[in-house]
Chains A and B, each alone.
Chain A
């Protein structure tokens, strides 16, 4: 009889042990995931071309963003928007604190966020749509 009790006790503990074995393996997976995430190149954000009527830059291409990214037709910009409706120095994206801002550099045709014209500076969230000339971009999170 006592042997049975002892066996039951062991099986009971084995169940608890199995629960912790599961948690341990999960913790290992999570740790690996977090390590991989912190190792990857840190990008502040990404600008994805949603639509470009003239095909330059091609739709679908994406640009990693620095803390200051300039957009315009001039070749000295970070992202050259080769579009007749874009000014040579059109707009600048800045990452200040924890958020993105877009500043319109008094361009001829204006800069639009989700279809609304930007007056000087406007905050920008991930997923927002940005229009420079006829080219439309989407602001995405940086890739891990």
Chain B
């Protein structure tokens, strides 16, 4: 027997962990933990105090434990774990996105723990989970997806190359919902597979952005010139415009037929915004807005539920006990909140044992937060969305190439526009369209889709390996070189 020492193959590089501290993220996460713990304490103490007052009992001391301390701690621990994983991975990615999204998710978790727990219940493998626990469960899954995307995605080729496949898959998913889906509140949005059910329109918003970014970055210069002329309107060459318009039109029409008006509005707004980002031409935006006005009038005359929404927006007091009930209750809630709010756990008086706003956990979380945190709190929450959008646009501005830039801008805008649409709907600035408030609303699909957005943004923000350090030793002068003619 000959002892042959197997040499390590040279082309196999050892997987090395190079941790890289992320002090900004850690500092911001500490603030997030502090804020959420204070919020939990405020909520728990208020709830116990109110209970005691209602029962006529007197309290010896205030108990500042959060209503579900274990759930809150699990969430904070998960955030810290994600941070630790980011540090270990050593990628130079954005350090603000995780804390900002984490704080929004935490506020959502507090709200879900505060609402009546029986609002939603679902049993997984025999254990019954209630609203607060379900939201925590989805948040943890969302954080897992976010971490996976942020750590694993290094190349964007799989998004860029298969953009038509992605688009086809997205449309197929929507069609499947249309055919096999189940009706909830008169709209067919939910697709159920076994015990899991989800709303594919949430995921389609991400797919749409990927497709548009890929398409626009490829054909950007062609779309910027105007070779086709129809009357006074100058358009880019039709063959290059058609696939994109077709994709958006298909998505829009399915969504409109499904009565998911919020998603339709979101898709169209993101489409226009990305078109503007790619070509820098205001005329497209103006043309799109004109199309939007025409489309709205047509839809208003075509569909009864659109008319109902608009009429309810113009005058909710026409039917205060029926259609207008939720809208009016939300307005009252904002009014009760005032400047500083009534405090977590103090709002939402039930009417006859029932919540005044039945959809408070999905469509109206902002009304509940507006009542309990007041205008000041609402502005802080809107500020958090602004931070997410700013980070996205900043990542887009520093992106390596057009595809990554458009993708980052689109992902950030999809979150920003969605938050705007639902916030404006809650405040009766525009007709209410039922979409979720990103990161805060209850719901698995919404949380997962937004986790995908943040995960991709984190991956896109990677600034690559560190440049080599500047040599600290002084260079020696080259010996023996002397000008002869001097």
Contacts and interface: CB of A to CB of B under 8 A. Distances in A.
B340 A13 contact: yes
B49 A30 contact: no
A23 B42 contact: no
Nearest to B397: A37
A101 to B, nearest CB: 10
A42 interface: no
A26 B387 contact: yes
B401 A126 contact: yes
A116 B400 CA distance: 22
Nearest to A24: B31
Given A7-B62, A16-B380, A29 B96 contact: yes
B64 interface: yes
Nearest to B27: A25
A33 B394 contact: yes
Contact of A22 (B46, B103, B404): B103
A55 interface: no
A16 B400 contact: no
Contacts of B120: none
Which of under 10, 10 to 19, 20 to 34, or 35 or more describes the interface residues of A? 20 to 34
Given A23-B383, A23-B384, A125-B402, A8 B46 contact: yes
Contact of B39 (A15, A21, A34, A127): A15
B387 A23 contact: yes
Interface in B392-411: 394, 398-405
A8 B62 contact: yes
Contacts of B96: 26, 29-30
Given A29-B95, A125-B402, A127-B400, A1 B38 contact: no
B45 A127 contact: no
Nearest to B463: A144
Interface of B: 24, 27-28, 31-32, 34-35, 38-39, 41-42, 45-46, 49, 58-59, 62, 64, 95-96, 99-100, 103, 217, 220-221, 224, 280, 340-341, 343-344, 373-374, 376-377, 380-381, 383-384, 387, 390-391, 394, 398-405
20 contacts: A8-B42, A8-B343, A11-B45, A11-B64, A12-B343, A13-B340, A16-B373, A20-B380, A21-B35, A23-B384, A25-B27, A26-B28, A26-B100, A29-B96, A30-B390, A125-B217, A125-B220, A126-B405, A140-B401, A141-B398
